[in-house]
Amino acid sequence: MKKQKFMVFLLLVCLLFLTGCKGRRDIGGDTTGNVYKIYYLNSAMTRLEPQDYTMPEKTSESDDTQLDWEIVKLMEQLKTVPKDLDRQAAVPDKVGFEKYKLEDKVLYLYFDNNYSMMNSTREILCRASLVRTLTQIKGVDYVAVYTADQPLMDSAGSPVRPMANSDFIDNISNVNSYEKTELVLYFANSTGDKLERETREVVHSVNTSLEKLIVEQLIAGPSRVGMNPTLPKETKLLNVSVNDNVCYINFDSTFLNNTLEVKEYIPIYSIVNSLAAVTSINKVQITVNGSQEFMFRDSISLNQLFERNLDYNAENAGTEKEGETETETGGKQQ
């Protein structure tokens, strides 16, 4: 809500007396604290509704670190809604929040057994809210949910891995227009000469094509330790289309400025092999600003169709020697 300048001045004066007030919601005046988005649910509980919140200054009486202070304050906001706001709390009243711990930038949240009693729609909205809100804290990259001291399980009976903000792409604006998809993504290994496989479950809009989703997740980068990105985070994906099992990808010029410490073919086959792993794509054409008349890293012409090549996958390294004889007689089988 916009304020007149004199109202802003008066609000700032008032805030001098309110420093340290617990759970205060920012209404547009204090710029001294960090402003966060608290993701509440709308009144119908069908979508997320963000609301600005200014973190109150840590009081001298508190023994918490600044990081702990921010975690506690944001969790308080996620469990309660200001009276003048027509929203629903992300965490239902009946769900007890017991404790948390932070290890290696993963925030583990422990709830009582009532968390697992939520229906799937309510739970995914709650989890999306927790992840999108708490990963705004510097030092928190992932959120993992535990219920009754056990990892949260997905519909297949497997533990839900720690989730990053990027796992909820396109935001969940309507619970009826999203789905969960498991992707196979290939990122560079620690030496940058092979591709390592990462399986990732993402929640996304049903209007987002699987091909676009895969490329966007590759740009977001790996979540596993020991893996390295293959595409710069600044890369802009301009367009993705598919025709006759050929995927046409159009990047901006950032794609050509790839200075990551990986072998020249690794970024190309990170894309191609990831697409081929979970779709019917068998060939990929890459263009930059609509043109394929470019050399990638001064050695690879983009004026060609790239096909899946398992030789770059680390998981196939053990069978590589078997294919060397085939190379001499006309190439390895793909």
Q: Which residue ranges make up each domain of the chain?
A: 24-168, 178-334
Tokens for 221, please give them: 């980068």
The secondary structure of 289-330 as a DSSP string is TTB---EETTTEESSS-EE--GGGBGGGGGGTGGGHHHHHTT
The conformational region for residue 11 under phi > 0 = left, psi -120 to 50 = alpha, else beta, is: alpha
Name which of 251, 241, 302, 298 is nearest 275 in CA terms. 241
Strand partners of residue 205: 178
- Looking at residue 106, its pLDDT comes to 94
* Whether residue 6 has pLDDT greater than 80: no
Angstrom distance (rounded) from CA 205 to CA 169: 8
Contact 288, 257 (CB under 8 A): no
- Looking at residue 276, its pLDDT comes to 94
Tokens for 90, please give them: 């992300």
Supply φ then ψ for residue 260, to 5 degrees. -65, 150
- Looking at residue 96, its pLDDT comes to 94
Q: Is the dihedral of CA 306, 312, 316, 318 positive or negative?
A: positive
Which stretch of 166-170, 233-237, 245-249, 329-333 has the lowest confidence by average pLDDT? 329-333
> What confidence tier does 331 reach under pLDDT thresholds 50, 70, 90?
very low
pTM listed for this prediction: 0.54
Tokens for 113, please give them: 């057994």
Helices (H) and strands (E) in the chain, counts: 6, 15
Highest mean pLDDT among 52-61, 116-125, 260-269: 260-269
Contact 29, 74 (CB under 8 A): no
Q: Which amino acid is at 228?
A: N
Q: Which amino acid is at 260?
A: L
Contact 254, 236 (CB under 8 A): yes
Contact 131, 75 (CB under 8 A): no
Tokens for 70, please give them: 């921010």
The pLDDT of 133-137, averaged and rounded, is 95
* Whether residue 326 has pLDDT greater than 60: no
Name which of 228, 235, 260, 261 is nearest 250 in CA terms. 235
- Looking at residue 69, its pLDDT comes to 94
Angle separating helix axes 66-79 and 120-134, nearest 10 degrees:
150
Name which of 79, 63, 69 is nearest 111 in CA terms. 79
